Amino acid sequence: MLDRLFKPRAIAVIGASNNPLSIGYIVIENLRNHDFKGPIYPINPKADEILGLPVYKSVVDVPGDVDLVNISIKNVLVPKVLEECGRKGVKFAIVHTAGFKEVGEEGRRLEREIVDIAHRHGMRIYGPNSQGIQNSDPEVSVYANFTFVPMTQGNLSLVAQSGGVGEVFKLHLHEVGMGIRMYSSFGNEADVRMNEIIDFYGQDEGTRAILVHIETLSDTKEFLDIASRTTKRKPILALKTGRTPEGAVAVSSHTGTLVEQDTISDAVFDKAGVLRMPTQDELVQTGIAFSSQPAPAGPNVALITNTGGPAIIAVDELMAGGLKLARLSDQTKETLRKSLHPEAIVSNPVDVVATATPEHYGITVETLLADPNVDSLFINFVTAPFVDLDGIAQRIAEAGQSATKPILCVVMTIEKWAGLIRRIRSSGIPVYAYPETAARVLIAMTRYGRYRGRAYSEPPVAAADRARAAAILSAAQPGFMSQSDLFALLQAYGIECAPGRPVAGSADLAKAAQELGFPVALKIDAQDVVHKTEAGALRLGIKNEEELDKAFRELQEKFASKQSATLVQKMMPAGKEVIVGFKRDPQAGPLIMFGLGGIFVELMRDAAFKLAPLCREEALEMIQGIKAYPLLAGFRGDRGADIEALVDILIRVSNLACDNPGIQEMDLNPVFAYPAGRKSVVVDARARIR
């Protein structure tokens, strides 16, 4: 537990200094300026007094107990002082000092050494190369960090992998008078990890929402567990940076080439119910709303405006984000018609017009909030210089105090009326400068409501002959599996494959064809022939023995140099071609893919991804989530495909992927999907095992 990190009872600052540009000075100044509740012990062998505090030569000389130390001395000196900290019984050491893992092998060694020392003493390292922590809880009030944004009390807790980004979050919250609960930028993650911090915030009653900046997830599995648990109680807003493709690894099968790191992040966040935010600004603005407003129960928003143009902008943005204009009840309309100016427009958006009075605003807000068709309220307010602005702000603020539905307000004004914004904010209603900003915040809040309301069933355990599957896999060589083995494996998981078998030689051809029945396909089954069509290793629609003989001879000749088998396979009736696959991420596990065959996936990037294990609802979301879904549902009189059969195959592939960690990637391509009542059939497939 991180209690003594975020709630230390006493702090020693090792490397304390009288130089105002040093970290050792700034940390003490921050602790004092923010009125830390415990004693602060500056440690410096060469100084007597720093900022009026007595200085100790070593932490072991400190008279009382010390929970936390902040260390900013030279990297090579850190091990020695850590030994002293350990002897002193220190619980946590924030190491600001850089020059560890990030500078190469020597630093890596030093980093391991300091963690070893700490652990020997039951102490934990925070950092190194870290900013520090903050906790505004008035019982503690700790600012053990060398940054510059003043801390005030609030209920948003922040954790940032980049200290720079963390600082940007803090300064923009500060700018609108929004306090924070806890803050943390943890540097190299040598010991205390981001996941623990998120977990700690999740359990902190004073934290209402968690704002996270991530560059790389270090333990995705753990993140998934912790975040999934946390988002049931409070929202996590995440900014994941480094999303442009760099260093993408070339992999050979279709699923592989598509899966970039960012797709995995998206899948992790989606599975955990974490709101991925596109920009720092949207993260901060959405955090501000969550600080006081509940998530909307549904997508139906009502708007109030006093000018047309900005309302159109809000509607554009809200609709583009999937929200709906609430259908106002007849009673609502009746009340508004009786109460507002005759030129007011009583529909949604409600245009109270520029000359609306405070009473008009009051009754409109109350009436809309009381309408059962309304899930959230969006107020657009341009300060017209010819009305009672204070009165209007007052009425909006009053409504905010008793509301149980979320209210967001846009105030478009200049400095001289900034008091209006403060008045409205004081009631807990967040105020934004632009309709677009407020709209995007409301869209994110609605998404959180939807995440929290997801009714996912348990991922089903598919009936399968797991012993047979294990036997097939243990006999297989690393690299691409033979199609015969792979089809056998798929069949062990109840996945139907096109009938076929290897032929022993030209003499066996006719027999095989007879068993299967014409038309048949002939294909080369070899480890190094992955894309059969491009390699010319595939002959389709062979209608008789003569054609079969010819095709066999040609393939034998063409692939004479390869170690390969030749398969005869029954031609399946044409169906809708889909691709089902997965790629195993070393951290997040199998990422399942679904898309339409042909060029839809490769060129149009029209594919859906989710992390295994899949429940039925997730499988269905994947199928319905691709743009080409209408083709499967039935388009322009076409019968479409059996969707249940596709859900079934996705669930079975998810089981197969979870059960058999040796399979790195798999690509069933194509799978023929047939109209309702008929199972889908795998026609070709590849899988790579390690």
Please report, as residue ranges, which positions from 618 to 657 form the binding site for a copy of itself (by CB under 8 A): 627-628, 630-631, 635-637
Give the nearer residue to a copy of itself in terms of CB position, either 245 or 505. Answer: 245
Interaction between residue 312 and a copy of itself (CB under 8 A)? yes
Tell which residue, 571, 654, 559, 589, has the closest CA to residue 225: 589
Stretch touching a copy of itself by CB under 8 A, among 381-389, 475-483, 489-497, 514-522: 381-389
Q: Tell me the closest approach of the beta carbon of residue 177 to a copy of itself, in angstroms.
A: 11
Bridge-partner residues for 595, per DSSP?
579, 607
As measured in angstroms, the least distance from the Cβ of 313 to a copy of itself is 5
User: Interface with a copy of itself by CB under 8 A: which range of 155-163, 448-456, 482-490, 505-513?
Assistant: 155-163
- Among 357, 373, 413, 491, the residue binding a copy of itself under the rule CB under 8 A is 413
Q: Are 174 and 148 within 8 A, CB to CB?
A: no
Q: Does 164 interact with a copy of itself (rule: CB under 8 A)?
A: yes
Maximum alpha-carbon separation in the chain: 100
Which residues in 262-301 contact a copy of itself (CB under 8 A)? 279-281
- From 292, 307, 329, 357, residue interacting with a copy of itself (rule: CB under 8 A): 307
Site membership for a copy of itself, residue 161 (CB under 8 A): yes
Alpha carbon distance 533, 254 (integer Å) = 13
Q: What residue type is 119 in one-letter code?
A: H
User: Does 409 interact with a copy of itself (rule: CB under 8 A)?
Assistant: no
CB of 603 to a copy of itself, least distance (A): 6
Q: Does the protein bind a copy of itself through residue 158 (CB under 8 A)?
A: no
| 623 and 594 Cβ atoms separated by less than 8 Å | yes
Which amino acid, one-letter code, is at 151? M
Report, in Å, the least distance between residue 132 CB and a copy of itself.
13
Residue choice 386, 560, 573, 586 for contact with a copy of itself (CB under 8 A): 386
Q: Does residue number 382 form part of the binding site for a copy of itself (CB under 8 A)?
A: yes
Quote the least distance from Cβ 465 to a copy of itself, whole Å: 36
Q: How far is the CB of 660 from a copy of itself (least distance, A)?
A: 30
From 86, 73, 77, 13, select the one nearest 43 (Cα to Cα).
13
Residue from 63, 104, 138, 150 that binds a copy of itself (CB under 8 A)?
Answer: 150
CA–chain centroid gap for 254, Å, is: 24
**# residues near a copy of itself by CB under 8 A:** 73
Residue 513 neighbours by CB under 8 Å, 6+ apart: 520, 542, 545, 548, 568
CA distance 283 to 269: 15
130 counts as binding a copy of itself under rule CB under 8 A: no
Hey, which residues between 220 and 259 contact a copy of itself (CB under 8 A)?
239, 241-244
Site for a copy of itself in 537-566 (CB under 8 A): none
Q: How does DSSP classify residue 61? A: G
Amino acid 572 reads M
Stretch that binds a copy of itself, among 166-174, 365-373, 422-430, 568-576 (CB under 8 A): 166-174
437 binds a copy of itself, rule: CB under 8 A: yes
Query: Considering only residues 146, 448, 559, 594, which one is a binding residue for a copy of itself as defined by CB under 8 A?
Result: 146
Long-range contacts from 675-679, C-beta under 8 angstroms, 24+ separation? 675/639, 675/640, 675/641, 675/642, 676/639, 676/640, 676/641, 676/642, 677/642, 678/642, 678/645, 679/496, 679/642, 679/645, 679/648
Which residues have a Cβ under 8 Å from the Cβ of 477 and sit 6 or more positions away? 527, 689
Pairing of strands 479-480, 685-689: antiparallel
Q: How far is the CB of 61 from a copy of itself (least distance, A)?
A: 28
Judged by CB under 8 A, the residue of 5, 315, 403, 512 near a copy of itself is 315
Looking at the Cβ atoms of 246 and 458, the one nearer to a copy of itself is 246
When asked if residue 603 is in the footprint of a copy of itself (CB under 8 A), the reply is yes
Inter-residue contact 66 to 41 (CB < 8 Å): yes
b/e code 84-121 from CB counts within 10 Å (16+ = b): bbbebebbbbbbbbbbbbeeeeebeebbeebbebbeeb
Stretch that binds a copy of itself, among 9-17, 143-151, 362-370, 564-572 (CB under 8 A): 143-151
Distance CA 180, CA 171 (A): 11
101 belongs to the binding site for a copy of itself (CB under 8 A): no
Ranges assigned E (strand) in 465-562: 479-480, 500-502, 520-525, 538-542
Question: What is the per-residue binding string for a copy of itself in 24-63, x denoting contact by CB under 8 A?
Answer: --x-------------------------------------
Report if residue 412 touches a copy of itself, rule: CB under 8 A.
yes
